[in-house]
A and B are shown apart, each in its own frame.
Chain A
Amino acid sequence: MSKNDSLGPMPIEQAKVLLEPMVPTLLDCFWQGWEWASGWVDGNELARTILHSSTFSGIVSDAFGHFSRQPLTDEFHARWRESGRFRRATIGQSLSLRFKKLTPDLLSMNVKTESQRAIYEQDEAVLPNAIPITQITLDYTLNSIASNVTGIYFTCPVNFDQNAWIWPIYQQGNQQLSLFAGEPLPPGDVVEDVLDVTIKMKKRGKAEQG
């Protein structure tokens, strides 16, 4: 076993190429998880009182992980590693994806253990000569009362307090970030002339029209 080499995490441009095809599926699965979790506590005042917002966030993350497992496996051949609630999907050879809630500063919230440090610092042990794996987190932010999702992001940490890059794929009130990821925004509202009909007179000349 050896430590990840010192090349650093995958640059955002390279990661986007791998992640972009997954955006619709991941958003779909995230909202499935969110709807399931929020539907569960909606109208349940006792649940709202008992559950700490971080507990609720954990439920959302768990649900997201649950709903994304099958589609990511089927569509993107994801391979899964689980350790308790900690679940990661390896996509291809070089990218590992996990699901978390972010702080308002767009940093993941984790107990600072050695194994977590290795992930945050992109320093997880890999097999000799293996391609270094970049650890990416799909995260979301909530409003102050944890009633609304305010953003969904890919983040690539370099340590507990810093990200190498952040790619927002959904922000409340600015959905186009994710909706048109990777494609140009539609042109201004001009109706394109698409008419492609050829008209031929059967009889030429007005005399025959009667």
Chain B
Amino acid sequence: MTGELNPEMFRLARDSRGLTQGELAESAGVAQGTISKLELGLKDVAADALDRIANALQYPTSFFFQDEHYRGFGISVIFYRKRASTLQKHVRRLQAQINILRIHAKIFLRDVTLETPGDIQQFDITEFPGTPADIAAMVRASWKLPAGPIRNLTGMIENAGGLVFRFPFGTNDIDAISQWPDDMSPLFFVNTQAPADRARFSLAHELGHMVMHQTVSETMESEANQFAAALLMPEGDVRHQLHGMTIEGAFKLKPYWRVSAASIIKRSRDLDCIKPNRYEDIYRRFTQLGYRQSEPFEIAAEEPLLIKKLVESHFEQGSFTVDELARMTHLHTDEFRMRHMGHNGSLRIAL
């Protein structure tokens, strides 16, 4: 093994498995102080202990030698749906998963060029002379989207060079996260535990952050919501459908706009198509019917394809084997298959 042990990678590996230092120490048969010191960069480790720690964490030892950093979520999760009920253990695990996927994206993108029909332009909301809805309209225009619904937002973001990952977050409190690492494409992470309609709105919300927000502000969540609503349901296209909105009407529009009935009702209120007291009546009934927790008529989820295509191109154009790609990404082969080739390794592979 070349290079130096990277203390941040020890913590990244442990957090990604949701283990405490004590649990890892017990599993690996080493002292808890050893784990603590390794993570602080205060101690070298004997080869056999390193192997035991790697085995306990189910990563190859090369994982700990990566020249990478364990980063925070970024600005998109500062306020967004982060509730007290979200256990820190889950949050740390999620943060670690996202770091690992970011590192993998960097590896997959390292030796390829992407030719995309569009890009993700940034319009800093603090300098832009307009509203989040105006910026959403510019994004739609730059992507040459026709009037009406966006049938596949994930695909459009990928066509603009964004990478979308979809996996279970281990919590229902966060639907999506985004990051724009230096010298990389923007990354979007979507929770498969969220209903597809809500996940789509959250993805649009995250796109809003990437497009509008380079710095944190108190209004950023509200701005991202306005952006998402305008991106998915432009006022000029949807307004005439929202007057006299009812719960039944919202569910009829749901498959057309591919957003939740709740967001259609809220859009009706925000565009003054229903009076606030009518909105409150509808919202009350919506809650009584249990639709806030679970809406009927779920739409199909959008599956990201670009990351699969990137992996596929390594097989087809680079003649890589699964084992080689697993080594590149510092995973065992089985985990590589599970993460990047579907559960059954169903990706087409040219061997």
With a cutoff of 8 Å between Cβ atoms, the chain B residues found around residue A180 in the complex are: 256
A191/B112 contact (C-beta < 8 A), A175-B241, A197-B158, A200-B317 known: no
Contact A199 B112 (CB under 8 A): yes
Residue interface mask A14-37, B partner, CB < 8 A = 1 = 000000000111011011101100
With a cutoff of 8 Å between Cβ atoms, the chain B residues found around residue A149 in the complex are: 244
Chain A residues numbered 166-210 whose CB sits less than 8 Å from any CB in chain B = 170, 172-176, 178-180, 185-186, 189-206, 208-209
Contact A197 B309 (CB under 8 A): yes
Contact B318 A209 (CB under 8 A): yes
> Is A39 interfacial (CB 8 A cutoff)?
yes
> Is A42 interfacial (CB 8 A cutoff)?
yes
Residue interface mask B275-314, A partner, CB < 8 A = 1 = 1010000000000000000000001111101100110011
Chain B's nearest CB lies how many Å from the CB of A22?
A: 11
| B156 (CB) vs chain A CBs: closest residue | A194
Residue interface mask B87-127, A partner, CB < 8 A = 1 = 00000000000000000000000011111110000000000
A209/B300 contact (C-beta < 8 A), A35-B275, A179-B241, A199-B309 known: no
Contact B240 A27 (CB under 8 A): yes
Contact A195 B111 (CB under 8 A): no
Contact A179 B309 (CB under 8 A): no
With a cutoff of 8 Å between Cβ atoms, the chain B residues found around residue A35 in the complex are: 243, 274-275
With a cutoff of 8 Å between Cβ atoms, the chain A residues found around residue B274 in the complex are: 35
Contact B243 A28 (CB under 8 A): yes
Complex CA distance for A193 and B256, rounded to whole angstroms: 17
Chain A residues numbered 44-83 whose CB sits less than 8 Å from any CB in chain B = none
> Is B324 interfacial (CB 8 A cutoff)?
yes
Contact A206 B117 (CB under 8 A): no
Q: Which of B149, B152, B328 contacts A194 (CB 8 A)?
A: B152
Contact B155 A200 (CB under 8 A): no
Contact B111 A176 (CB under 8 A): no
Q: Which of B246, B301, B314 contacts A172 (CB 8 A)?
A: B246
Contact B159 A194 (CB under 8 A): yes
Contact A190 B240 (CB under 8 A): no
Q: Which of A25, A195, A206 contacts B158 (CB 8 A)?
A: A195
Contact A203 B111 (CB under 8 A): yes
With a cutoff of 8 Å between Cβ atoms, the chain A residues found around residue B310 in the complex are: 199
Complex CA distance for A199 and B185, rounded to whole angstroms: 14
Contact A173 B246 (CB under 8 A): yes
Chain A's nearest CB lies how many Å from the CB of B157?
A: 10
Complex CA distance for A31 and B159, rounded to whole angstroms: 39
Complex CA distance for A185 and B256, rounded to whole angstroms: 8
| A190 (CB) vs chain B CBs: closest residue | B300
Q: Which of A42, A170, A186 contacts B256 (CB 8 A)?
A: A186
Most chain A CB within 10 A, of B152, B274, B318, is at B318
> Is B77 interfacial (CB 8 A cutoff)?
no
Complex CA distance for A176 and B241, rounded to whole angstroms: 9
Contact A206 B318 (CB under 8 A): yes
| B314 (CB) vs chain A CBs: closest residue | A201
Complex CA distance for A185 and B117, rounded to whole angstroms: 28
Complex CA distance for A190 and B151, rounded to whole angstroms: 9
Contact B151 A191 (CB under 8 A): yes
Complex CA distance for A4 and B299, rounded to whole angstroms: 53
Contact A193 B152 (CB under 8 A): yes
Complex CA distance for A175 and B253, rounded to whole angstroms: 8
With a cutoff of 8 Å between Cβ atoms, the chain A residues found around residue B184 in the complex are: none
> Is B239 interfacial (CB 8 A cutoff)?
yes
With a cutoff of 8 Å between Cβ atoms, the chain A residues found around residue B155 in the complex are: 191-195
Residues of chain B having any CB pair with chain A under 8 Å: 111-117, 149, 151-152, 155-156, 158-159, 161, 239-241, 243-244, 246, 248-249, 252-253, 255-256, 258, 273-275, 277, 299-303, 305-306, 309-310, 313-314, 317-320, 324, 328
A-B contact pairs, 21 of them (CB 8 A): A35-B275, A42-B277, A149-B244, A175-B244, A175-B253, A179-B241, A179-B256, A189-B258, A191-B300, A193-B305, A194-B156, A196-B159, A197-B114, A197-B117, A199-B114, A199-B310, A201-B111, A201-B317, A202-B111, A203-B111, A209-B318
Residues of chain A having any CB pair with chain B under 8 Å: 23-25, 27-28, 30-32, 34-35, 39, 42, 149, 170, 172-176, 178-180, 185-186, 189-206, 208-209
